[in-house]
Amino acid sequence: MKSSIIRRSIHIFLFVFLGFLVRVTTTAQACLPEGIIFSTQADIDNFQINFPGCTEVEGNVLINGEGIANLEGLGVLTFVGGYLAIYACNSLDNLSGLDGLTSIGKFLWIGQNNSLTALEGLGALVFIEWYLWVEKNPILPDLSGLGSLATIGGGLGIWDNDGLTGLQGLAPLTSFPGSMVIWGNDALIDFTGLGALSLIEGSLQIENNSALLDLSGLDEISYIADELWIGNNNSLVTLAGLNSLDSIGGGFYLNNNDALTSLYGLDQVTGIGGNLSISNNLMLENLTGLNVLTTINGSLQIFGNEALTNLSGLHNIEHGSIADLRITNNYLLSACDVESICSYLSGSGGTVTISDNDIGCNSRLEVEIACGIVGVENIGLENEFLIYPNPAGDVVYFSAKAGLQIIDVNIYNHAGQVVMHLKPIDQSIDISALQPGMYLIQLNNGNRNSRHKLVVYR
């Protein structure tokens, strides 16, 4: 009798235990290794019927359909092992229904959803193995709804979201192991939402954001391991927001920001690991925001900055860290004789291109004269000859102390070529054939030469 009761108890226990296992298997089941495509609202609504107990999709999930208006039928999903793509669902205004999703094994792509106004529904998502791509959602105002996302293992791309004004929703991110591209978001005015981010292990590209005023929201970033690109942001006035940045592992390219007036915001940057290129920033007047920069380890390129008048800000760069030098098409730039440039011109074997700037920085010779590399006067003769006017127009005059006679004169252009030779010399020289610019004029009195800087200006 007792053994019968024991056997019956064991049977009851096994029945209950096996039932518990069935329920566990039903509620936490890996499935669909080949992935799944949802193209209609019915596909979404019938998911739990067609795949009972399926909570962890091993493969990819593509949600793509004009008539998909909600994702409520996917409420049981907790994990997607491949990618999750929500694409061209033009009746979808939020992502409610994905509230149980905590991690994605590859990437999350949210693109071309014309009615999407919120990422609500992704509040439990904490991990994306590869990257997050948010592209061409025209009325999405921010990234709210991603408030638990602490890890993105690869890159972040925010592209062509015309209504996006900020990046709220990315607050948990403190470091970023990949590259970040913020491109073509016409309503974006700053980077509010990234205030905890301190490290980018890839590159940072900020381009073609036409309403961007400054870079506030990036205030904690201290290091970018690869390149920094800031370009074609037509309303960008200042780089304020990068004030904690102290080094860039790759090159720095600052190009075509039409409203940028200064480099304020780069005041802590001491090193750049590649090229430094500052080009076609039409309102940029000076480079003083780079005062503490000491190394670049690449080419130095300053060109097409039409309001730039001097190179103050580059004086602390170690000339040995400059590979090649290009200073061209800065039409108001007349003062280039900062210490780093002068030292580079004195001893570097790199390529030097200096042209199409204002007088004083319109050629290598002009800069060398300003730097004192090429002397413009000989000691002992500087008070014995007078050249006037200087700058000169069509005629330049000479006078000398009694007893001194000028035998001949050579005038050299920026390439060191003799462009005018006169012998014997009267009291004046017609220089109307010379183009405006800086020249070196050498006076010879038979025993000694005296060299002077001559500026031709009309």
Q: Is 323 helix (H, G, I), strand (E, B) or coil?
A: strand
How many alpha carbons fall within 13 Å on the CB side of residue 260? 34
How far from the centroid of its chain's Cα atoms is residue 222's Cα?
15
**Tens of pLDDT, residues 110-139:** 999 999 999 999 999 999 999 999 999 999
Which pLDDT score is estimated for 384? Answer: 67
Helix (H, G, I), strand (E, B) or coil at 14: helix
Once rounded to an integer, what is the mean pLDDT over residues 261-282?
Answer: 97
Of these ranges, 291-300, 345-354, 401-410, 414-423, the one predicted with the greatest mean pLDDT is 291-300
The pair of structure tokens assigned to 417 is 């070529």
**Topology of the domain covering 385-456:** Immunoglobulin-like (2.60.40)
What is the tally of helices (H) and strands (E) in the chain?
5, 32
Whole-number percent of the chain with pLDDT over 90:
67
Residue-level pLDDT at 370:
87
User: Coil, strand or helix: which one is 264?
Assistant: coil
Higher pLDDT, 211 or 7: 211
How much is the average pLDDT of 301-315? 96
Binning pLDDT at 50, 70 and 90, where does residue 369 land? confident
- 390: pLDDT confidence band, cut at 50, 70 and 90? confident
- Per-residue confidence (pLDDT) for residue 405, from 0 to 100: 78
pLDDT at position 15 is 38
pLDDT for 448: 67
Rg (CA), the chain: 34
Segment among 22-31, 49-58, 196-205 with least mean pLDDT: 22-31
